[in-house]
Amino acid sequence: MKRAYNFNAGPSALPLSVLERAQRELLDFQGTGMSVMELSHRSKEYDAVHNNAKQLLKELMNIPDTYDVLFLQGGASLQFSMVPMNLLGNEQIGNYVLTGSWSEKALKEAKKVGKTHVAASTKEANYTRIPATEDIQLSEQAAYLHITSNNTIFGTQWHEFPELPVDLVADMSSDILSREVNVEQFALIYAGAQKNLGPSGVTVVILRNDLLERIPDNLPTMLDYRTYTTSNSLYNTPPTFAIYMLSLVLEWVKEQGGVKAIEQRNKEKAAVIYEAIDESNGFYSPHAEKDSRSLMNVTFTLPNEEVTKKFLSAAKERGFVGLAGHRSVGGCRASIYNAVPYEACEALAQFMDEFRKQNV
Amino acid sequence: MKRAYNFNAGPSALPLSVLERAQRELLDFQGTGMSVMELSHRSKEYDAVHNNAKQLLKELMNIPDTYDVLFLQGGASLQFSMVPMNLLGNEQIGNYVLTGSWSEKALKEAKKVGKTHVAASTKEANYTRIPATEDIQLSEQAAYLHITSNNTIFGTQWHEFPELPVDLVADMSSDILSREVNVEQFALIYAGAQKNLGPSGVTVVILRNDLLERIPDNLPTMLDYRTYTTSNSLYNTPPTFAIYMLSLVLEWVKEQGGVKAIEQRNKEKAAVIYEAIDESNGFYSPHAEKDSRSLMNVTFTLPNEEVTKKFLSAAKERGFVGLAGHRSVGGCRASIYNAVPYEACEALAQFMDEFRKQNV
């Protein structure tokens, strides 16, 4: 079997050793005579999987005891609604920084729930950069400040988080666990799993416990964070297989040396591709400004659409998957999440060099 | 490897051949060099899986073109809220038949959204039976009548659906695809997958297209059925692996001869266990009245708690899993969904006979 060079933006590459272990255990989980998918979510075997995933995430991200870790469904898109439903009081204003399509969607959903304010936006600059902290203008009565820590579509990433007198909420779907962060800088972090954490179908929420006091009564049960905190995310049947895969991915991160080691490798992976761009004399043109470049999604364009098509077609033949840019911006994008090996990035950079020399 | 006799109430047994196929394909889906979990949800390979699942469900359940099939997340519990949010107009009343804990939960969530009415309830009879159609009293301005087609906890099941001048909405989580139903009797059917359809993590909704016109504007995007109908359930990343498993389970149902053949087998499976109860001279006492017995969840009690414990412990030693009754009713429960083989039911019946003779 030949492994693809998988640069998908999500769902995306998973560590090979994780897939191999899942394959080995698929028919008989720990001698139970059942697949992990066939276990009751109330069984002691599943409980151990569930709590292991939670514990490993706490350990790997250094999450203090003043925070809780929840497992939900519905992706980040459902969090766009749950955050304001739970945290945006009647007399308050949800503050949003717009750095791309996902921030815009988060704002759109918040507007259905309550009052909002755009605290900063780089839309005028076609989302090529992250705003500076001094450009963020909070409103009065700010319930929270919402940011998207990494912008998959535009390939930009916050490298320092704003320290402002407001509860910071971050959609970290596309860079959670890719670098060290100080969780205490945030009131709430949420992330769909399908980039750095596992397969699609589970969403992680990390929240500071005091936020629970702000939640209004009478929310739909499944949209109230307290339903998850009081039941250890077992109020109803959770996506057990997705959480099992999450636990395996977290064990893999630990084996790699933890988040610090992963971050170092991610920097090396991104560097080799950005180098191919920067040394191309403009043949490859990066979308993001240098200071705002993402270590997760490298976005670039080629001289024209014809060359872009040729590039994508030649890349496909060489076994590179998922390099077409998002339909809303075009060009190319290499998503290089935690499970994408350095060798794949190196192979891509070499291919980019070769292709450039042949098509310049 | 010894397969367990898996009587879990959900997540529950999956067909062995389905698990074996998933295992074979886990590292390399159709020569892509990627796991199905690593495929982009926008790829042609995943698209085929997604549409195959949808098409097979339409075929197996004879779903007319005037209906659509949606894949969501959040389980039936989220549908408890989505149904009234989408279908319960301001001047209307959501009608509910209470036949167990899940109907009660559905009603509880509807009360948060709008006006409700209990059209019938067998709570006074400790949910031992399904009400007769003539006992159902609809309110004026009924938006819909909500029923739970099978009650996992109490072991009762509707054997005929009420034909009344109202849109019928059914939670079919625990008996969908276990027997032939006329979809046209329903306005909307929903079901969490983890009993008859696949692993947990995906929820199927089947709705009549004209219902879409009733949906109010400004619902959260992820809670509006139109988000799924207009995007083929691909507005955001769906739970791709769960949908893949669903597609494999549906192929298996087709191989078994379709729903008609499955239904026949389910009747035989249930009959052998009910026989062990009925011929036990009251040693095993069924919870459900005879006319309301479930073909999916066989619930019964033993003479006293001590004997019950002994039974569960002896059953466990013999490799029977998941026979403890739900914590809210006690006693025993054998959940015998589609993927539980006849042999497991026969083995259980034999064990019940033996145990009775030794402990009478």
Query: SS3 of A310, please?
Result: helix
CATH number, domain with residue A292: 3.90.1150.10
Question: Which residues of chain B lie closer than 8 angstroms to A44, CB-CB?
Answer: none
In a domain, A9, yes or no: no
pLDDT digits (tens, 9 = 90+) for A138-183: 999 999 999 999 999 999 999 999 999 999 999 999 999 999 999 9
Q: What is the pTM of this model?
A: 0.98
Are A231 and A273 within one domain?
no
Closest-CA residue to A296 (of A138, A100, A163): A100
Are A189 and A275 within one domain?
no
> Which of B222, B228, B321 is best to mutate for the A interface (most A CBs within 10 A)?
B222
Q: Which of A229, A256, A283 is the last residue of a domain?
A: A256
pLDDT of residue A329: 83
A17 is in an annotated binding site: no
Contact yes or no for B34 and A23 at CB 8 A: no
Any idea which residue has 């709705």 for tokens? B207
Q: Chain A residue with minimal CA distance to B84?
A: A220
Q: Which of A200, A221, A256 is the last residue of a domain?
A: A256
Contact yes or no for A10 and B237 at CB 8 A: yes
How would residue A327 be classed by pLDDT, with cut points 50, 70 and 90? confident
Question: Which residues of chain A lie closer than 8 angstroms to B221, CB-CB?
Answer: 77, 80-81, 105, 108-109
Closest-CA residue to B199 (of B151, B244, B237): B244
In DSSP terms, A301 is beta-bridged to: A285
A76 is in an annotated binding site: yes
Q: How far is B164 from chain A (nearest CA, A)?
A: 29
How would residue A285 be classed by pLDDT, with cut points 50, 70 and 90? very high
Domain tally, chain A: 2
How would residue B209 be classed by pLDDT, with cut points 50, 70 and 90? very high
Q: List the beta strands (DSSP E) in chain A.
A: 5-6, 67-72, 93-98, 115-121, 142-148, 150-151, 156-157, 168-171, 188-192, 203-208, 285-286, 297-301, 320-321, 332-335
How would residue B360 be classed by pLDDT, with cut points 50, 70 and 90? confident
Are A201 and A289 within one domain?
no
> Which of B24, B44, B73 is best to mutate for the A interface (most A CBs within 10 A)?
B73
- Exposure string (b/e) for A109-145, b if CB count within 10 Å is 16 or more? bbebbbbbbebbbbeeeebbbbbeeeebebbeebbbb
Q: What is the DSSP letter of A176?
A: T
Q: In what order do the strands lie in the sheet containing A168-171?
A: A67-72, A203-208, A188-192, A168-171, A142-148, A93-98, A115-121
In a domain, A7, yes or no: no
pLDDT at A308 over 80: yes
Are A270 and A156 within one domain?
no
CB atoms within 10 A of CB B125: 11
Contact yes or no for A27 and B1 at CB 8 A: yes
The token pair at A118 is 């755009």
**Average pLDDT of chain B?**
97
CATH number, domain with residue A236: 3.40.640.10
**In whole angstroms, what separates CA B280 from the centre of its chain?**
29
In a domain, B229, yes or no: yes
pLDDT of residue A35: 98
Contact yes or no for B245 and A37 at CB 8 A: yes
Number of H helices, E strands in chain A: 9, 14
What value does the mean pLDDT take over residues B60-80?
Answer: 98
Residue of A2, A10, A222 with shortest CB distance to B78? A222
How would residue A360 be classed by pLDDT, with cut points 50, 70 and 90? confident
Strands B188-192, B203-208: pairing kind: antiparallel
Q: Which has more pLDDT, A327 or B298?
A: B298
Are B43 and B114 within one domain?
yes
B353 is in an annotated binding site: no
Per-position DSSP letters for B105-157, written without gaps between them: HHHHHHHHHSEEEEEEE-GGGTT-SPPPGGG--PPTTEEEEEEESEETTTTEE
- Exposure string (b/e) for A222-249, b if CB count within 10 Å is 16 or more? bbbbbbbbeebbebbbbbbbbbbbbbbb
Per-position DSSP letters for A83-120, written without gaps between them: HHHHH--TT-EEEEEE-SHHHHHHHHHHHHHSEEEEEE
Residue of A6, A194, A223 with shortest CB distance to B237? A194
Contact call for residues A155 and A293 (beta carbons, < 8 A) = yes
The token pair at B352 is 């019940």
Closest-CA residue to B207 (of B155, B167, B238, B245): B167
Residue B135 bears catalytic tag: no
pLDDT of residue B58: 98
pLDDT of residue A218: 95
pLDDT digits (tens, 9 = 90+) for A264-277: 999 999 999 999 99
Are B127 and B177 within one domain?
yes
Question: Which residues of chain B lie closer than 8 angstroms to A27, CB-CB?
Answer: 1, 16, 19-20, 23
In DSSP terms, A335 is beta-bridged to: A297
Question: Which residues of chain A lie closer than 8 angstroms to B222, CB-CB?
Answer: 74-75, 77-78, 80-81
Q: How far is A11 from chain B (nearest CA, A)?
A: 5
The CA distance from A155 to A146, in Å, is 18
In a domain, B11, yes or no: no
pLDDT at B76 over 90: yes
Q: Chain B residue with minimal CA distance to A233?
A: B74
In a domain, A3, yes or no: no
Question: Which residues of chain B lie closer than 8 angstroms to A242, CB-CB?
Answer: 201, 239, 241-242
Query: SS3 of A14, please?
Result: coil
pLDDT of residue A1: 65
Residue A252 bears catalytic tag: no
The CA distance from A97 to A136, in Å, is 8
Residue of A37, A80, A218 with shortest CB distance to B199? A37
Closest-CA residue to B151 (of B321, B299, B42): B299
Cβ-proximal residues to B284 (8 Å cutoff; 6+ apart), any chain: B276, B277, B300, B301, B302, B352, B356
> Which of B152, B205, B236 is best to mutate for the A interface (most A CBs within 10 A)?
B236
pLDDT at B328 over 90: no
The CA distance from A208 to A206, in Å, is 7
Can you give the residue range of the structural domain that contains B272? Answer: 257-358
pLDDT of residue B1: 65
Residue A195 bears catalytic tag: yes
Are A120 and A104 within one domain?
yes
Q: Which of A195, A224, A252, A269 is catalytic?
A: A195
A120 is in an annotated binding site: no
Q: Chain A residue with minimal CA distance to B339?
A: A38
Are A291 and A160 within one domain?
no
CA distances from A315 to A1, A4, A5, A43, A355 (A): 19, 11, 10, 47, 9
% of residues, chain A, pLDDT over 70: 100
pLDDT digits (tens, 9 = 90+) for A219-259: 999 999 999 999 999 999 999 999 999 999 999 999 999 99
Residue of A23, A222, A223 with shortest CB distance to B27? A23
Are A231 and A309 within one domain?
no
Count CA atoms within 13 Å of residue B7 on its CB side: 33
B185 is in an annotated binding site: no
Q: Rounded to the nearest 5°, which phi and psi values hold at B334?
A: -110, 115
Q: Which of A68, A102, A167, A269 is catalytic?
A: A102
Q: Which of B215, B235, B256 is the last residue of a domain?
A: B256
Closest-CA residue to A295 (of A130, A150, A98): A150
Are B264 and B206 within one domain?
no
In a domain, B5, yes or no: no
Question: Which residues of chain A lie closer than 8 angstroms to B80, CB-CB?
Answer: 220-222
Contact yes or no for A38 and B75 at CB 8 A: no
Any idea which residue has 């706490």 for tokens? A58
In a domain, B117, yes or no: yes
> Which of A8, A17, A83, A241 is best to mutate for the B interface (most B CBs within 10 A)?
A241
Cβ-proximal residues to A179 (8 Å cutoff; 6+ apart), any chain: A259, A262, A263, A266, A295
Are A262 and A207 within one domain?
no
Are A106 and A140 within one domain?
yes
Residue of A11, A14, A219 with shortest CB distance to B237? A11
pLDDT at A328 over 90: no
ipTM of the complex: 0.98
Any idea which residue has 């084996």 for tokens? A255
In a domain, A4, yes or no: no
CA distances from A52 to A25, A49, A200, A251 (A): 17, 5, 19, 9
Residue of B14, B34, B192 with shortest CB distance to A38? B14
pLDDT at B281 over 80: yes
A126 is in an annotated binding site: no
pLDDT at B327 over 90: no
pLDDT digits (tens, 9 = 90+) for A85-112: 999 999 999 999 999 999 999 999 999 9
The token pair at A157 is 């990433």
% of residues, chain B, pLDDT over 70: 100
Q: How far is A133 from chain B (nearest CA, A)?
A: 30
Q: Which of B68, B167, B171, B224 is catalytic?
A: B171
Q: At what angle do helices B258-278 and B342-359 cross, to 10 degrees?
A: 0
Contact call for residues A286 and A333 (beta carbons, < 8 A) = no
